[in-house]
Chain A
Amino acid sequence: SQTIHQWPATLVQPVGSPLSLECTVEGTSNPNLYWYRQAAGRGLQLLFYSVGIGQISSEVPQNLSASRPQDRQFILSSKKLLLSDSGFYLCAWSGGRVGTGELFFGEGSRLTVL
C-alpha cells in the first residue's frame, strides 16, 4: 500500500533562518506531488506541484521554493523565513489520474516563525 511521510512534524524557527521540509512517498511510482500551506483556522493554499523529477510549478509567488530530486521525494525550502511563513504545511500525492479529485496527505509539518 502507498504511504506518505513528511518531517519534521513541528519546528520553531527565527525570522531570517532557512527552512527545509521533506516529504517522501512509498508504494507508488511517478506520483504527482503537492505542497499546501494552511494558516490557522483557514483553508489550504496550493504552493507547488510537481508531475515528475525536476518539474516544479509554483502557484503563489513567495520566498519559498520546492525541489524534486527523486521520483518520490519532494522538498520545500526557504533561504530566509518571514513571520508570515508560519503555518501548517502539508505534502500530498495523487496517482496522476485527472478527474479523481482525491489527494493523499501526509501528517503535516507545523512551522512557527518567531
Chain B
Amino acid sequence: GQSLEQPSEVTAVEGAIVQINCTYQTSGFYGLSWYQQHDGGAPTFLSYNGLDGLEETGRFSSFLSRSDSYGYLLLQELQMKDSASYFCAAANPTGANNLFFGTGTRLTVIP
C-alpha cells in the first residue's frame, strides 16, 4: 500500500523559514513531488526530487533521502500568499506517472 505522512498544520511568521516534512511507505517509489493548493483551488506543482539531495527553485527547496524514506519542503522568506495547503506525493513506477498524495499540511503565515 501507499502511505505518506505530513504534519497537519504549521504556523510561521512572515519573512521566516518553515520546513514541512513527509515520510513515506510505498510499494514502489520513483520520486517525491510537492504541490501547493490554495483554498478552493486546484493543486499546483512546486518541485520534484527523483534523486537524493536538495532541489532549489527560488524561495522553495525540496529534499529527499531514499534511505530514510523521508523528504521535506523548505519555504524561505515566507509571504502571506504562501498560506495554503502543501502536499507531498510519491511517484509510482507504473509507467503512467501515477502520484499518490500525502495527507497535506496546512500552512498559516502570520504577520
Chain A interface residues (CB < 8 Å from chain B): 32, 34, 36, 42-46, 49, 51, 57, 59, 90, 94, 96-108
Residue in A32, A96, A102 whose CB lies within 8 Å of B48: A102
B89 neighbours in A (Cβ, 8 Å): 44, 101
Query: A97 touching B97 by the CB < 8 A rule?
Result: yes
Closest to A108 in B: B42
Number of interface residues of B (CB under 8 A): 27
Which listed residue (B42, B49, B96, B100) contacts A105, Cβ 8 A? B42
Chain A residues, Cβ within 8 Å of B98: 34, 46, 49, 59
Complex CA distance for A9 and B20, rounded to whole angstroms: 31
Closest to B106 in A: A41
Can you report 29 residue pairs joining A to B where beta carbons are below 8 Å apart?
Answer: A32-B96, A36-B101, A42-B104, A43-B87, A43-B102, A44-B43, A45-B101, A46-B98, A46-B100, A46-B101, A49-B96, A49-B98, A51-B96, A90-B42, A94-B97, A97-B97, A98-B30, A100-B91, A101-B30, A101-B33, A101-B49, A101-B89, A101-B99, A102-B33, A103-B45, A105-B44, A107-B41, A108-B41, A108-B42
CB pair B31–A99 under 8 Å, yes or no, is yes
